Amino acid sequence: MNILVTGANGFLGRGLCQSLIASGHNVRGAVRHNKSAMFAIGRLSDVDVEVIGDIKNDTDWTQALDNVDVVVHLAARVHIMREKATNPLDEFRKVNTFGTERLGKMAASSGVKRLIYISSVKVNGEMTENTAFSEDSIPNPRDPYAISKFEAEQKLQSVSSDTGMEFVIIRPPLVYGPGVGGNFLRLMKYIKNGIPLPLGSIKNSRSLIYIGNLVDAIVKCVEHPSAANKTFMVSDGEDLSTPDLIRRLSKALDKPARLILFPQSFLSLVFKLAGKPDDMDRLTDSLVINSAKIRSELNWSPPYSVEQGLKKTAEWYNADEKSV
């Protein structure tokens, strides 16, 4: 099949393009600008790269969609640590909601058979208590990013209803693997540098997904007829507490886990005084996914264990430590 991947030069996009090519598909990668195109060409020599500019409600996808069978839409406006927009929700909607709707409508008009949208578990909410999130859970997006993602899902379902183009929605949790950034990369740096972490008292459970497992699930959704018009939750299938993740990651990095037992109430106060209560929530709250649906309906199972995923991530970090 001929497949268009948006965000082809990103953390997830590069691995997905490589896997799709290995599976025998023809891949076209959409990137924002020429600098991204040159980077993508250097990393993805077998990908036809198309520069499409900013994703918004009037982006011209005509050339990128020419003769395409399936679109995998990865590109998005993601979390920004120091948000400068006066109305962040409007900015997220421009790209994630209306930009996605525009792509969906043009894809349907171009004869695309299926559009796969990478959403987020945050559509379901920020935390779980007694029950894991599943596809049947009532959506509860809380921040501008999650709201824009949920609205994009609804737009694509509407386009599908109007045109007959199939959609697939995938809601992953935190994705890790070679090339990861953000808090996961910061955690590896702390462990590698032997910095004590006052997180030993945390009792929670969180789902993660290794990038190789997410890529495999996306390829399955590209190829499997039963994926049409479905929403899937995906994860590694083994949930970890924050201290367990640190211990497992420390082992993969061949470093001791310097965990300190520190009362969670005091830890919450420290984060609150630092103006970062959301960071505290991500460390202490539970967020668990039930991925039984994709396993049963598409006969999918993660090809990599958590141990293998962390090991490959640690190997990348050790190899590239000077550059990250």
pLDDT tens for the chain, 324 residues long, are 999 999 999 999 999 999 999 999 999 999 988 655 555 555 666 788 999 999 999 999 999 999 999 999 999 998 665 666 778 899 999 999 999 999 999 999 999 999 999 999 999 999 999 899 999 999 999 999 999 999 999 999 999 999 999 999 999 999 999 999 988 999 999 999 999 999 999 999 999 999 999 999 999 999 999 999 999 999 999 999 999 999 999 999 999 999 998 887 777 777 777 777 677 777 889 999 999 999 999 999 999 999 999 999 999 999 976 544
Cα separation, 287 vs 240, in Å, equals 10
What pLDDT shows up at residue 267? 77
pLDDT of residue 321: 64
Tokens of 267: 């830890």
The single residue of 117, 145, 176, 304 carrying the catalytic annotation is: 145
Angle at 231 between CA 228 and CA 233, to 5 degrees: 130
What's the confidence (pLDDT) of residue 265?
A: 76
Element containing residue 174 per DSSP (H, E): strand 174-176
Q: What Rg do the C-alpha atoms of the chain give, in angstroms?
A: 20
CATH topology of domain 2-171: Rossmann fold (3.40.50)
Q: Work out whether the CA dihedral 26, 29, 30, 33 comes out positive or negative.
A: negative
Provide the token pair at 142.
């809380």
Secondary structure (DSSP) of 2-40: EEEEETTTSHHHHHHHHHHHHTT-EEEEEESSHHHHHHH
Residue 138 DSSP code: P
Q: Distance between CA 155 and CA 31 in Å, rounded?
A: 22
**CA diameter of the chain:** 58
d(C-alpha 268, C-alpha 144), whole Å: 24
Question: In sequence order, what are the residues at sequence separation of 6 or more whose Cβ sits closer than 8 angstroms to the Cβ of residue 131?
Answer: 137
Cα gap 188→192, rounded to integer Å: 6
For residue 298, CA distances in Å to 73, 74, 79, 131, 176 come to 20, 21, 31, 23, 23
Does residue 304 have an active-site annotation? no
Q: How many CA atoms within 13 Å lie on the side-chain side of 281?
A: 10
Q: Where are the domains of the chain?
A: 2-171
CA dist 74 and 54 (Å) reads: 14
> DSSP code of 58?
T
